[in-house]
Structure 1
Amino acid sequence: MGNIKDIIKKAAGLTSGTTVGLGNEINRSEWLRNVLQQVPAGSRLLDAGAGEQPYRPFCSHLHYVSQDIGEYDGKGEVGLQTERWDFGKLDIVSDIASIPEPDGAFDAILCSEVIEHIPDPVRVFGEFSRLLRPGGHLILTAPFCSLTHFAPNHFCTGFSRFFYEYHLDANGFELSELSYNGNYFGYLAQELLRLNSVAQKYTASPLSRSERIRINKLLKTIERLDGADSGSRELLCYGIHIHARKR
């Protein structure tokens, strides 16, 4: 974790000593690790939109099946891109809304940071409902708010709790857990940490030393407010984590 934080801060040119704004990926990975451990050993799990399969190590006790359309190459001219991308060996290459498996084929489905890249995410909920046996687990994460990334396959900037409560219920799911990743202050800090790289790309004018010093001071103020937070996640956060069961 320390290495990830150091890399982000080095790229941003910031040295405030704060940790606010650095939790997005770390929090999500820890939540997924804990929830996946709740899935009984030997269960058949579909990692839908598996990408580079970063959470496969959390599924060593499960019969893991990876699926992706397998088209992204890391390159693009719009927004944030990864430059490189390696799907590895996928078990299923298909449209996520039409997966060639029979009804009730899986005990659990993992879908992490995917549905913002789907033109019709509600249709995907219907497909997940079809693929899960009754009582099966749906483990899903997606942004509450995000910058343009993986374009042109970026169709939604994010989803609120009300989206999940309505559409999961309508597709036969009962929520077991809905949790927020981060809050308003953490999100602001995340974007301040990204400011230097965005300025370099879109203005050809990196932050000056005095500007970085001022941002470091602001990050300390944001960290103080983050420590006193009592519910700003309802306004803004990194994302929402869902654990639901098929009725």
Structure 2
Amino acid sequence: MYGFFKSVLKKALNLSTPLTVGTKNEETRNNWIKNTLVKIPAGGRILDAGAGEQPYKVFCEHLSYVSQDFDQYNAGGDGVGLQRPSWDYGKLDIICDIASVPEADNSFDAIMCTEVFEHIRHPREAVKEFTRLLKPGGYLILTAPFASLTHFAPYHFYSGFNSFFYREELEEAGFDILEMEANGNFFEFLAQEINRISGVAASYSKDSLSLKEKLASKVLLKALQRFSGKDKGSSELLNMGFHVLARKK
């Protein structure tokens, strides 16, 4: 019976084209970071601030890589919101507060800080510290959510940051923004959260979607994919997050 309904659903929705809307958040961010790191001149010293499990170290082979984190998150956190079932910082070079790194002024040619700002109680202090640590002309690579669900609690202090935060804070801290790219758009974000419904319902309602509800979600996802393909700037309303490349004056 399920096979019959699946066949009817596929025909009704014409799903010969896969529904990928809302599924490219991490992939898009990873590709941007990889391509941006290539732009940093070889031989430079880079600080991975809030490095976590150091997923981007592999893209820094042309650089002198230094990892930093506060080394306090454990898998499962406090059990609230989204958590990781396992977590391994690996060997960190520096364990400290991100706003107080024990390195001299002008110590780095580049700093990378990815998906960290929402976990810092005072992100403005981190920006000031990056200014101190970077050499004049040094590069700053930043990404953070525009809006995010509670994750890694109790170390989650902000839902996200929009473009105005970066423009105001980075300019005041002495940076020129070379590139600022929105990851996704309004429609992609909504689709991402629709794709989460089954997991969230299982965790928080102990319930699941019926076949009709799954059909309804597929119909809506198909519409969102169409809207996203025709998008004319909805990222200004909502997106997954901004990717920023800046340079210290």
Shift of 1:17: 2.5
Q: Does residue 53 of structure 2 align to residue 52 of structure 1?
A: yes
CA distance in 2, matches of 1:86, 1:27: 24
TM-score normalised to structure 2 length: 0.92
Q: Where do residues 168-187 of structure 1 align in structure 2 (5 Å cutoff)?
A: 168-187=170-189
- 1:3 is matched with which residue? none
Amino acid of the structure 2 residue aligned with 1:18: L
Q: Are residues 1:152 and 2:154 paired?
A: yes
Tell me the residue number matched to 1:5.
Answer: none
Q: Specify the alignment match of 1:129 in structure 2.
A: 131
State which of 212, 217, 220 in structure 1 corresponds to 2:219.
217
Shift of 1:77: 1.5
| Per-residue CA distance 1:47-104 (angstroms, 9 max, x = gap) | 0000000011111111000000011012122100002100000000000000000000
Measure the CA separation in 2 of the matches of 1:139 and 1:74: 26
Following superposition, the deviation at residue 213 of structure 1 comes to 1.4
RMSD: 1.0
What whole-Å deviation, never above 9, does each CA across 1:186-227 have from its counterpart, x for those lacking one?
000000000010011111111112211111111111101110
Per-residue deviation at 1:236? Answer: 0.2
Larger radius of gyration: 2
Q: Distance in 1 between matches of 2:230 and 2:177?
A: 29
Which sits farther off after the overlay, 211-220 or 46-55?
211-220
- Partner secondary structure for residue 104 of structure 1: coil
**What's 1:24 paired with?**
25
Q: Is residue 237 of structure 1 aligned with residue 246 of structure 2?
A: no
Q: Deviations over 1:9-46 (max 9, x none)?
A: xxxxxx88300001100000000011100001110000
SS at match of 2:181: strand
Partner of 1:109: 111
| Alignment-mate amino acid for residue 158 of structure 1 | G
CA distance in 2, matches of 1:21, 1:78: 24
SS of alignment partner, residue 241 of structure 1: strand
SS of residue in 1 equivalent to 2:160:
coil
Runs of 4 or more above 4 Å deviation: none
Within the candidate set 137, 140, 157, 1:138 is matched to: 140
Residue 225 of structure 1 aligns to a residue whose secondary structure is helix
* Structure 1: stretches of 5+ with no match in the other structure: 1-14
CA distance in 2, matches of 1:213, 1:119: 42
Question: For residue 61 of structure 1, what is the amino acid of its counterpart?
Answer: H
Amino acid at match of 1:48: A
Equivalent residue, structure 1, for 2:193: 191
Q: How far off is 1:240 after superposition?
A: 0.3
In 1, the alpha carbon distance for the partners of 2:117 and 2:96 equals 15
Give the aligned partner of residue 10 of structure 1.
none
SS at match of 2:113: strand
